[in-house]
Structure 1
Amino acid sequence: MPTPLQGALTFLQQLDLFKDYKQKLDVAIGKEKTNDLITNASYLISSGTNDFTLNYYGPIPVRQLTYPNISGFQQFMWQNIQQFIQELMDEGAKKIGLVGVPPIGCLPAMITLHSKHPILNRECIENLNAISKMFNQMLQDNLDGLRRPDIKIMYLDIYTPILDMVEQKTSYGFEEVHKGCCGTGLIEAGFFCNSNSLICDDVSKYIFWDSFHPTEKAYRIIFDSLQSHLLENIL
């Protein structure tokens, strides 16, 4: 459910691209091989982080105008995710992983925007983390209604490993957990982190690359935490 400012593809646009890809595969390898490929492929869906951090709790909280109550916004998000998964299954997908949202209150940009003293007191915003936990629980509960005997759908938890890295940073070899490596580490993201930006001396000591996204090392730790579940259920 991105806003035009984000420049991200909507669910419907992504589905249209997927259907177009299927048609091209039909021409290239035939319908039977295409169906076999689509059926045996694994699909990972990640949705929600930008919706919370940019659209609802960002500097221009446009979604709060339509959904003043966070529970209503979460339900709106689930309805879109549900529709996307259902249409993906209708197109032949049978192995689907849905990634939950991270502890958004620990993202450097959210600390900058919502802390009373963002420079001196860089700690996770607990009420925002509670929103993440509530939404992730909704995802887990609602996925049960989408499961079919011949279709595997699983929830993938990224909240726990990221929070654990923040709270147990020395165990993972991190030193800085509330600022990004790029620029000031307080608010920059996307094209504001580029070849002209100042960066930290040792990125391996940082959980976050910019004010939203984890570093390569952090992503590896997240993947390792999910690997056994992925191999067992959808890969």
Structure 2
Amino acid sequence: MMKNSFLFISLLILNLGLFLEAQKVPAVYVFGDSLVDVGNNNYLTLSLVKAVLPHYGIDFPTKLPTGRFSNGKNAADLIAEKLGLATSPPYLSLVSKFNYNKNVSFLNGVNFASGGAGIFNGNDENLRQSIPLTKQVDYYSNVYEQLTQQVEASRLQKHLSKSIFIVVIGSNDIFGYYNSLDLPKKNTPQQYVDSMASSLKVQLQRLYNNGARKFEIIGLSPIGCCPISRLKNKTECFSEANLLSMKYNEILQIMLKDLKLKNKNLSYSYFDTYAAIQDLTQNPSSYGFVDVKGACCGLGELNAQFLCTPISIICANRQDHIFWDQVHPTEAATRIIVDKLYNGLSKYTHPINMEQLLAL
């Protein structure tokens, strides 16, 4: 009996050691939209922007919808895997009236992302459809205040300075621009993306002022090449949306360099999603993809004329599709993107990749 107990304890210590060795950062704090929402919108009672019906989650470990806009795991999950961490829980799951605990610790990381969110507040905040970035950062400010009461100041600063702050936002602002009759009349494309970048800069500065030091900033994909955008241009990429994405990515990188100059302790990795997705769509066979235009789950032309619902047609092989629904990638495509983000070449990551960011 004593021999078995000793063996059990030895294995436990070994496994704990392996876990601690695998964990590369103290925590991950996630901000953004549906690409990294892990269930926050489930707690917005009035929101219609929810991934709570089949076939969402069909390839998730539980095989059930979780609020992730994917057939399986999304980028927040897969980045956490790379970092040896559990996925940061949705903020609203920790503070909702059904699960409120004023003593909850946020030291293990939190996810504030919300499907449908943008850099700009838009009308979604009033309609409670999503949590815009400004509100997400407000929530983080509340978390920071709570942490200052729970953790000694120097320990907290060290914890946050080693943690990763992931920001995935802007796609819905681009959709909003080219789907609007009003916005293009009030702003040229350049004025609009300049305003997006300057608004984002304000929020990143707020995060920095509250302890954030290491940022993973995700650029916009070629939004005009997602299935719903292709419907506007006879199944080919909608060039106007792609041009807007490219313009924003250019000004975003200039903004990040300026932010770094003004905040000496700030470090960041920018990921060029545009280049990475283009690589997948232009060289699909080298990545195991067959369909680069259509959605796996939907109805109509390109399977993209209607949302993914229980009555949708679903593709037989989710591994050979880049897109899961009208706008979101499959888990298979997301895994490739996260691999490039984590330790990819300089053609995708500037000035360093995430792995190099961790080492700073």
- TM-score normalised by length of structure 2: 0.58
1:234 Cα offset (Å): 4.2
The equivalent residue for 1:198 is 313
Is the 1:182–1:197 contact (alpha carbons within 8 Å) kept by the matching residues of 2?
Answer: yes
The structure having more radius of gyration, on CA atoms, is 2
Match for residue 304 of structure 2? 186
Which of 143, 166, 171 pairs up with 1:49? 171
> Does residue 1:93 correspond to 2:212, yes or no?
yes
Residue 128 of structure 1: aligned partner: 241
In the alignment, residue 292 of structure 2 is paired with which amino acid? V
1:138 matched to which residue of 2?
Answer: 251
Q: Which amino acid aligns with 2:354?
A: L
Cα distance between partner residues in 1 of 2:239 and 2:305: 19
Aligned twin of 1:79:
198
Deviation at 1:35, TM superposition (A): 2.4
1:81 is paired with a residue whose SS is helix
Deviations 1:62-98 (CA, angstroms, capped at 9, x unpaired)? 533532x111111110111110111111111111121
Query: Given residue 165 of structure 2, which amino acid in structure 1 is its aligned partner?
Result: Y
* Deviation of 1:61 (Å): 4.8
- SS for the counterpart of 1:154 is strand
Q: Structure 1, residues 18-63: CA drift from partner, whole Å, max 9, x if none? A: 011122323444444332222221111112111112x1123x4553
Which residue number in structure 2 is paired with residue 162 of structure 1?
A: 277
**DSSP 3-state at the match of 1:34:** helix
Measure, in 2, the Cα distance between the counterparts of 1:187 and 1:154: 36
User: Are 1:180 and 1:208, in contact at CA under 8 Å, matched by a contact in 2?
Assistant: yes
Partner of 2:323: 208
Unaligned runs of 5+ in 2: 1-119, 344-352
The two structures, once aligned, show a CA RMSD in angstroms of: 2.0
Determine what percentage of the aligned residue pairs are the same residue: 27
Counterpart of 1:211, as a letter, is Q
Match for residue 59 of structure 2?
Answer: none
CA distance in 2, matches of 1:173, 1:84: 38
CA distance in 2, matches of 1:86, 1:28: 24
**Cα offset, 1:213, TM superposition:** 0.7
Residue 180 of structure 1: how far off its partner (Å)? 0.7
Matched, 1:66 2:186: yes
Structure 2 distance, partners of 1:232, 1:155, is 12
Distance of 2:221 and 2:305 partners within structure 1 = 17
1:83 and 1:138, CA in 2 relative to 1: closer, same or farther beyond 3 A? same
SS at match of 1:98: strand
Query: Does residue 14 in structure 1 map to residue 136 in structure 2?
Result: yes
Separation in 2, partners of 1:91, 1:180: 40
Structure-2 residue corresponding to 1:222: 337
In the aligned structure 1, how far is the partner of 2:329 from the partner of 2:288? 14
Distance in 1 separating the partners of 2:330 and 2:242 = 20
2:288 corresponds to: 173
CA distance in 1, matches of 2:305, 2:294: 9
Q: 1:37 to 1:62 in 2, by over 3 A?
A: farther
In 1, the alpha carbon distance for the partners of 2:332 and 2:220 equals: 19
Unaligned runs of 5+ residues in structure 1 are none
Distance in 2 separating the partners of 1:109 and 1:224: 26
Q: Secondary structure at the match of 2:314?
A: coil
